[in-house]
Amino acid sequence: MVRAKSWTLRKHFEGFPKTSDFELKEVELPKLKDGDVLFESVFLSVDPYMRPYSRTMMKEGDIMIGSQVARVMESKNPTYPVGTYVVANSGWTTHFISDGKDLQLLPSWPEKIPRSLALGTVGMPGLTAYFGLFEICKIRAGDTVLVNAAAGAVGSVVGQLAKIGGCKVVGSAGSDKKVAYLKQIGFDEAFNYKTVGSLEEALRKASPDGYNCYFDNVGGEFSSIALHQMKKFGRIAVCGAISGYNDTVPQKGPYIQGPVLWNQLYMEGFIYSRWNDRREEVLKILLRWVLEVRGVTVPQTTVRELMLLPFSQMPVYANKSQVCSHTLLFHTQPVPLAGDMGVGWVCVSIKACRIQYRREE
């Protein structure tokens, strides 16, 4: 018998999540039926989207949503023999039983890259960056691309892919260390939006003739200001609206129809799953870029035990202006991401956006 430990949502978040909104539960999993597979979670992801989605997709008592890299422990399903790795959407749990539906097999995985990247650059965040840039922003060589939350799991890949695409890339992030990191991974311009004084001036200084593309992870006031610096026919990919995820009362800003109209701007919200039919193809592209192109990496940190994670200090939930800090995590153990690139260490030092749970193996 296997006992699964799962973090459940005790109470829907009001404003910032609190420790008391969560509850750890332990259940004994049943025996496998024919077709069933028992998985252990190897890496769990914690992402900003969980804040708004928990409101609409979850009821109190449910296991927290989220995806994981999981490995087959026991199987009565020939498609998933013991030792197979998948990406599943079974939430924050150490073990789970699946009937084999809605699992994604990991592509052929090189030894020198940790499988945690299947939740990062070669997973949802990488797919999000790819489709947002190529399908929504429709980047062309020579474009100037703006991305905010640029040191995050998606933003950092956006910047690196845009450089591969021949663009000038400007990134906004919330600490000087993050800004240094952005320059290290190839951003042409980067600034700390918290210390620039005037965001309007910082944007204008970084690209005096404006922006062709804006990959928006933040929304809110940042977007209201950035909108006015888009070039004619500028393209805006609305990927996230993190500035509003903790709101109980929606924030307000100037109506946007004026600037959208005058410069004939194009804006589209998107979720990577729209292109599920191209998932395999693009994951292979991303994996190739990680292997061949130095620099396509994703900030990540690992923690040894999910159970040690102090929810009151969980970086994603803690403070909307400090989304990425997680100095208080126990047992952080950085993992180099692609051999000698050693970006794992860098990411730890810049307090990257994603935490990933790694069981002892």
Residue with tokens 């097999």: 105
By CB under 8 A, residue 134 contacts its own copies:
no
Residue among 89, 251, 321, 333 that touches its own copies (CB under 8 A)? 251
By CB under 8 A, residue 252 contacts its own copies:
yes
Smallest distance, Å, CB 197 to its own copies?
A: 22
N-term to C-term CA, the chain: 20
By CB under 8 A, residue 268 contacts its own copies:
yes
- H/E element, 183: helix 176-184
Residue among 16, 109, 134, 266 that touches its own copies (CB under 8 A)? 266
By CB under 8 A, residue 271 contacts its own copies:
yes
CA distances from 350 to 121, 184, 315, 354 (A): 17, 12, 13, 11
By CB under 8 A, residue 114 contacts its own copies:
no
Characterize 221-252 residue by residue with b for buried, 16 or more Cβ atoms within 10 angstroms of its Cβ, and e for exposed: ebbbbbbbbbbeebbbbbbbbbbebbeeeeee
By CB under 8 A, residue 140 contacts its own copies:
no
CA distances from 53 to 57, 133, 159, 183, 328 (A): 6, 23, 26, 32, 25
Site for its own copies in 30-59 (CB under 8 A): 52, 56
Smallest distance, Å, CB 56 to its own copies?
A: 8
Closer CB to its own copies, 120 or 219, in the complex: 219
By CB under 8 A, residue 129 contacts its own copies:
no
Smallest distance, Å, CB 245 to its own copies?
A: 9
Residue among 264, 319, 321, 333 that touches its own copies (CB under 8 A)? 264
Smallest distance, Å, CB 154 to its own copies?
A: 13
Q: In angstroms, rounded to a whole number, what is the distance separating the alpha carbons of residues 241 and 229?
A: 19
Smallest distance, Å, CB 237 to its own copies?
A: 10
Separation of CA 125 from chain center: 5
By CB under 8 A, residue 269 contacts its own copies:
yes
By CB under 8 A, residue 277 contacts its own copies:
no
Stretch that binds its own copies, among 2-10, 195-203, 253-261, 353-361 (CB under 8 A): 253-261
Q: How many positions of this chain bind its own copies (CB under 8 A)?
A: 36
In contact, 315 and 303? CB cutoff 8 Å: no
Residue with tokens 């429709």: 138
Smallest distance, Å, CB 217 to its own copies?
A: 10
Residue among 28, 34, 101, 261 that touches its own copies (CB under 8 A)? 261
Which class for 123: exposed (0-12), middle (13-18), buried (19 or more C-beta within 10 A)?
buried
Minimal CA–CA distance to 172: which of 112, 124, 125, 221? 221
Residues 6+ apart with CB under 8 A from 262: none
Binding flags for its own copies, 228-247, as an x/- string (CB under 8 A): ----------xxxx-xx---
What is the DSSP annotation of 1-42? --EEEEEEESS--SSS--GGGEEEEEEEPPPPPTT-EEEEEE
By CB under 8 A, residue 260 contacts its own copies:
yes
Residue among 2, 225, 267, 282 that touches its own copies (CB under 8 A)? 267
Closer CB to its own copies, 239 or 306, in the complex: 239
Q: In angstroms, rounded to a whole number, what is the distance separating the alpha carbons of residues 153 and 169?
A: 16
Stretch that binds its own copies, among 4-12, 118-126, 166-174, 262-270 (CB under 8 A): 262-270
Grouping H, G, I as helix, E, B as strand and the rest as coil, residue 82 is coil
Closer CB to its own copies, 103 or 153, in the complex: 153
Q: Are strands 104-105 and 301-303 parallel, antiparallel or unpaired?
A: unpaired
Smallest distance, Å, CB 14 to its own copies?
A: 17
Closer CB to its own copies, 109 or 270, in the complex: 270
| Site of interaction with its own copies (CB under 8 A) | 52, 56, 216, 219-220, 223-224, 238-241, 243-244, 250-271, 274
